[in-house]
Structure formats: structure tokens, C-alpha cells
């Protein structure tokens, strides 16, 4: 059996001052009766300076905070409480030891009531959780950037197919709710196989990126979406746009890409890179589902290819 005597007050005081968290003891009047060494360099107050002063007098900004509520609950109702770091801003104005203009330490605070000699007290324990909070923030940032990247085409930087699918579904529903129009363009670079065969795949990739950026620059409304639909195929969702308006816009896109004068392979129909575009709109019967709208635009695109390429065809145009 351990027969060593209990440590004296001096040993306890040393231990309390060495512990790696803030310890503050308040009496029933919320006045500070203990202020450990950890608090001193982080608050800028020595124990002698705060002893006997009310906590809210030392830190007026705690008024109305969750810490004040927890202290009240401890001293009046004998209830323990914790104030986790994630719930808003760090309650105590504590900074990294010795840096009084640095960032606040992220804190997890626990308030624990106890009685001694018939008096009620509470212990306020403050732990520095800055590292954990930092890690959590970095993980959240990383998750957010992964999420954003998962909707962007890695090669061209415009929306990818997944983004397109989500946007088309959303915009079609919105158009139906509001009784508005919506048009879809499917665009394909003409004779792109010949381009790759002549210039090589790397130049092919660069060409795809240039065309994608040119296309995105032509869609100016916030709700418009330009996406890479497949290999050398692009799509544009144009909310609040009728078939005839979309046809006009498709022609402007086609003319803009042609005006870039990107040299094409000798085997291509034109000396420069061109687009064929199929247009469909949801203002026609039966084109209220994404799949039906895509199929209609695809048929129109096929007709544009068959008709000689470098042209715009709308679904329903006479063959
Ligand atoms: N460089 C590059 N080429 C791609 C990519 N995705 C698809 N392609 C190429 O695009 C070409 C498409 O060829 P086809 O579908 O035969 O059509 P096309 O030659 O464009 O002819 P038309 O569409 O009929 O005018 C194929 O050679 C694919 O390899 C890509 O990410 N990078």
C-alpha cells in the first residue's frame, strides 16, 4: 500500500502552473480565486492582477456568451457544461504565448462546478485546440476543392458531363415550373479525327481547350452552362431561350469559332477548325425530359454533319 503523504500545497501549485491548459477557478460571486501559469502569457494578465476580480470584469466580451451561461449554470444549478471550439469564435481573448497581436487561440472550454468547505466554486478549463481546428479547416477546404474539381473538365476547364447532367435537370425543371423556354446546343468539332491524325494528340488537346474557352466566352448569362459533353463534343444549356433565339446564338458561336482561324488538317472539309451544331428546345411537346431533349439535339447535330458540317441545324428543320 502506498504510504506516501499527500503532496503539499506548494507541489500542487507548481503542478497547476505547469499543466498545459488554462485553469481558472471562480467563487460563487464569479470572482477569480485561481489563475494558473498557462493563462499568464496568453492573456497578458498575471495571477496577482486578476485575483479577486470578477471574470466579466477582466473579460467584458464574455458578457452574453456561452461561457457566461455555463458559469452561471455551474454556480447556481451545479451543472457541468462544455463549449466546443467549433461553435463560433473562441470565447476568451487569448493569443499564442507572447504574441499579443497574433491570432486568437482556438479554444475548447469546460466548466465544472464543485464545492469545498461549504462554498460553491467552478473550474473553467481552457484547452488550446488550434491545431485540431486548423486541420479540420484544411480538410474542409480540401473537400470543397475536390467537390468543385469534380464538376470541372480537367482538360478544358469548363463544366464536365456530370455538371451538365445536374444543370440540365435543374434548368429543365425550372423552365417547366415557370412555363419558360430552354434550349440545348450540342456541338462537335468537324473532322477532329483528321486534326489528331495530322497534328498529333497533344495539339488536338490544345485545340479542344481553345474551342471550349471560346464557347464559354460566348455564353454570357449567369444561368448559361457550357460543358464538355464527350471527347470532342460540347454542350450548351441556354435557359429562357427559345428555339429561334438559340439558333441565332448557335450561329454566332459557329461564326466565332470559325473566325479564330485555327488551321485544320488538309483532309478536313475546311482549312480552319469549324463546328457543327444541333439545337433543340423544350418548348415543343415531348421534349420535357433531359433524355428526350438530348436525343433531339443529337439528331439535329447528326443532320448538320450529314448536311456538310460547319452549320447549325435545329430539331424539326426540314431535311
Ligand atoms: N486530342 C483529343 N482527341 C480526342 C479527345 N476526345 C476525342 N478525341 C478524338 O476526336 C475524334 C472524333 O472523331 P470522329 O468521331 O470520327 O469524328 P470527326 O473526325 O470529328 O468527324 P465528324 O464529327 O464527322 O466531323 C477521334 O479521333 C477521337 O480520338 C481528346 O480528349 N483529345
Give the lowest-confidence range in 10-14, 66-70, 102-106: 102-106
Question: What ipTM does this complex have?
Answer: 0.91
**What pLDDT is recorded for position 126?**
97
Name the grid cell of 313. Answer: 441545324
**What pLDDT is recorded for position 248?**
98
Domain boundaries, the chain: 9-134, 150-314
Distance 192 CA to ligand 1 centre (A): 5
**What pLDDT is recorded for position 127?**
95
**Whether 171 is catalytic:** no
Mean predicted confidence (pLDDT) in 231-237: 97
Residue with cell string 484547452: 127
* Residue 169 CB coordination number (10 Å): 12
Residues 6+ away with beta carbon under 8 Å from 229: 161, 164, 186, 235
Mean predicted confidence (pLDDT) in 108-125: 96
Residue with the smallest CA separation from ligand 1 atom 4 is: 231
Mean predicted confidence (pLDDT) in 62-80: 94
Report the topology of domain 150-314. Alpha-Beta Plaits (3.30.70)
Residue with cell string 463549449: 83
Mean predicted confidence (pLDDT) in 19-25: 97
Q: Is the CB of 188 under 6 A from ligand 1?
A: yes
Q: What is the largest CA-CA distance in the chain?
A: 104
Please report the atom of ligand 1 found closest to the CA of residue 189. Answer: 20
**What pLDDT is recorded for position 290?**
95
Give the lowest-confidence range in 83-97, 133-147, 236-250, 267-281: 83-97
In the chain, what percentage of residues exceed pLDDT 90? 80
Report the topology of domain 9-134. Beta-Lactamase (3.30.450)
Neighbouring-strand partners of residue 34 = 25
Q: What is the pLDDT of residues 173-217, one digit of tens each?
A: 999 888 889 999 999 999 999 999 999 999 999 999 999 999 999
Among 236, 238, 223, 42, which residue's Cα sits nearest to residue 126? 42
Q: Is the CB of 183 under 6 A from ligand 1?
A: no
Q: Is the CB of 201 under 6 A from ligand 1?
A: yes
Mean predicted confidence (pLDDT) in 219-246: 95
Among 26, 106, 33, which residue's Cα sits nearest to residue 68? 26
Q: What is the pTM of this model?
A: 0.66
Name the grid cell of 216. Answer: 464559354
Amino acid at each position: 500500500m502506498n504510504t506516501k503523504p499527500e503532496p503539499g500545497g506548494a507541489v500542487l501549485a507548481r503542478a497547476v502552473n505547469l499543466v498545459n491548459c488554462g485553469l481558472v477557478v471562480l467563487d460563487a460571486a464569479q470572482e477569480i480565486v485561481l489563475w494558473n501559469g498557462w493563462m499568464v502569457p496568453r492573456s497578458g494578465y498575471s495571477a496577482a492582477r486578476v485575483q479577486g476580480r470578477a471574470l466579466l470584469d477582466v473579460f467584458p466580451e464574455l458578457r452574453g456568451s456561452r461561457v457566461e451561461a455555463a458559469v452561471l449554470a455551474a454556480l447556481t444549478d451545479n451543472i457541468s457544461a462544455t463549449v466546443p471550439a467549433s461553435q463560433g469564435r473562441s470565447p476568451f481573448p487569448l493569443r499564442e504565448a507572447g504574441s499579443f497581436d497574433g491570432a486568437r487561440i482556438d479554444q475548447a472550454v469546460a466548466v465544472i462546478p464543485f464545492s469545498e468547505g461549504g462554498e460553491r466554486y467552478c473550474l473553467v478549463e481552457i484547452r488550446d485546440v488550434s491545431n485540431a481546428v486548423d486541420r479540420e479547416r484544411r480538410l474542409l477546404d480540401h473537400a470543397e476543392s475536390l467537390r468543385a474539381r469534380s464538376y470541372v473538365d480537367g482538360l478544358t476547364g469548363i463544366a464536365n458531363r456530370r455538371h451538365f447532367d445536374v444543370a440540365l435537370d435543374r434548368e429543365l425543371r425550372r423552365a417547366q415550373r415557370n412555363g419558360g423556354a430552354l434550349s440545348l446546343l450540342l456541338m462537335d468539332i468537324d473532322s477532329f479525327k483528321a486534326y489528331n491524325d495530322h497534328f498529333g494528340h497533344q495539339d488536338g488537346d490544345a485545340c479542344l481547350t481553345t474551342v471550349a474557352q471560346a464557347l464559354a466566352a460566348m455564353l454570357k448569362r449567369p444561368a448559361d452552362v457550357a460543358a464538355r459533353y464527350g471527347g470532342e463534343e460540347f454542350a450548351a444549356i441556354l435557359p429562357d431561350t427559345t428555339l429561334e433565339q438559340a439558333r441565332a446564338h448557335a450561329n454566332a458561336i459557329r461564326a466565332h469559332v470559325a473566325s479564330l482561324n485555327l488551321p485544320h488538317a488538309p483532309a478536313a472539309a475546311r482549312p480552319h477548325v469549324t463546328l457543327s451544331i444541333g439545337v433543340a428546345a423544350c418548348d415543343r411537346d415531348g421534349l420535357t425530359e433531359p433524355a428526350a431533349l438530348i436525343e433531339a439535339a443529337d439528331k439535329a447535330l447528326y443532320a448538320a454533319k450529314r448536311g456538310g458540317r460547319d452549320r447549325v441545324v435545329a430539331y424539326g428543320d426540314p431535311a
